[in-house]
A = this chain, B = another copy of it.
Amino acid sequence: MMPSFGLPHKRAWASLFSQLLRPSGLVCIREVHFHSQVSEAVLTSQLKPHQEKSNFIIKTPKGTRDLSPQQMVIREKILDMVVGCFKRHGAKRLDTPAFELKEMLTEKYGEDSGLIYDLKDQGGELLSLRYDLTVPFARYLAMNKVKRMKRYHVGKVWRRESPTIVQGRYREFCQCDFDIAGQFDPMIPDAECLKIMCEILSGLQLGDFLIKVNDRRILDGMLAVCGVPESKFHAICSSIDKLDKVSWNDVRHEMVAKKGLAPEVADRIGDYVQCHGGVSLIEEMFQDSRLSQNKQALEGLGDVKLLFEYLTLFGIAEKISFDLSLARGLDYYTGVIYEAVLLQTPAQAEESLNVGSVAAGGRYDGLVGMFDPKGHKVPCVGLSIGVERIFAIVEQRIKTSGEKIRTTETQVFVATPQKNFLHERLKLISELWDAGIKAELLYKNNPKLLTQLHYCEHMGIPLVVIIGEQELKEGVIKLRSVASREEVAIKRENLVAEIQKRLSES
């Protein structure tokens, strides 16, 4: 059974963004429509403009970008959904500094350590920008001697990668992590992590997906029984990791020709890593003549079997694939590992929007112990949602659909058809703000009525209140619906109540 909080796939994001849509037929543009005729105030700035310097280019740093109001609206919707799921599972929110002492990050990321941003030594401590949210979490647990915690963290991380921006990879990006720390009975928190990944990916309606599961111990055991020398485990794992992009023949070639593996060893690996399936594959591996001889592998298989039992109770077993080729890179994983991939429909494949993994995680029982003065361990399991890739998919989808997104939430616009009504407009809008109503006006002494009404249409503001001489005399305000263009006169003292009534109905 899939979660019932989702909507049907078709036009899903359209429904999701329906409250952001402007009335049909209107074009949403930047508010370039109301030109002001006032002369520029005489102002002295002692600051020198940059153009006096040679070759000055205004840009953001390589691999980074500003996020426009449109992008921020999409982001906030997605993050609200992700955080909502984390809260549904009882997580607390934590925040850590953007940078850590440099030594906190060393020896945690293997080959990737070269991608860490260091701060300049300006006297004092040596600092680095955080590379993920997992290592700061482990540092927090050890520092505060916390033995149990279910926490989520949404924040930016920084990696000096060669940015290939077309694929949605940036040097600054957002991560959404959920982790469970503590000594518990096996596989219960691990199963919950997979359940959370399913809830989020279903809830975001990104199309069909699959979560690959493996175990670090099965992987190590497999390499051992195939005859890979322990010194080559890392190199061979990184070859295996490429199987989702290149064929087995290419991977085999790399193992033998580049990494010096005996061809028969490579072939034995090949027999395993091309296997993926469900519970029956686990049973098969239990019976496997070689693998069943390895203690580590048996422990891993036992846990994965138990995990599938719980996944079945959670109703998500059909979304999970036990996949012996899954080999996540980070050094700190010790048990179950997993990675979610979107399954492309033929249409998406044509658009060649290859997004790969959208969520991943695993068990890391040794990381907290690295920070503890006495080496006390706190077992942890967690997941990270690849929100940047999800943002890219949804942005692309909205672009393709031609949907327009409102970047403000203004409910009421305060207008006048007459000159010299600024004071009345200011008094009126102040009343609306004080009543909690989202309201705007033009920052002009004497704007034209048409300019004001155009502004409302362009910005998707649903209601206009109009005050002029006639209204002032009669103690009323005209309330206009932008969509229907209907106008009614309302007693000034009833205006706020009437607006609130209209807004609650819409």
A residues at B contact (CB < 8 Å)? 1-5, 30-32, 36, 38, 40-51, 53, 56, 58-62, 64-69, 71-73, 76, 87-101, 103-104, 107-108, 117-122, 124-125, 127, 129, 139-140, 142-144, 146-149, 151, 156, 158, 160, 172, 180, 182-186, 188-189, 191-192, 195, 199, 296, 299, 310, 313-315, 331-332, 334-335, 365-367, 369-375, 377, 379, 407-410, 422-423, 426-427, 430, 433-440, 443-445
Contact = CB atoms under 8 A, between A and B. Distances in A.
B43 A435 contact: no
Contacts of A296: 44
A43 B444 CA distance: 70
Interface SS of chain A: loop
B67 A95 contact: yes
Given A90-B439, A120-B121, A148-B31, A184 B38 contact: yes
B373 A97 contact: no
A61 B5 contact: no
B366 A43 contact: yes
A264 to B, nearest CB: 27
Nearest to A33: B148
9 closest pairs, A vs B, by CB? Answer: A45-B366, A184-B443, A69-B92, A64-B97, A67-B95, A90-B440, A118-B120, A72-B93, A188-B443
B365 A100 contact: no
Nearest to A191: B426
Given A119-B119, A143-B58, A433-B3, A408 B438 contact: no
7 contacts: A47-B367, A51-B374, A62-B124, A88-B437, A91-B408, A191-B426, A195-B433
Given A334-B43, A438-B87, A95 B118 contact: no
B156 A5 contact: no
B120 A94 contact: no
Contacts of A73: 93
Contact of A100 (B31, B60, B129): B60
Given A48-B370, A172-B98, A117 B122 contact: yes
Contacts of A186: 38, 41
A504 B102 CA distance: 49
Given A88-B433, A185-B444, A371-B50, A158 B98 contact: yes
Contacts of A156: 98
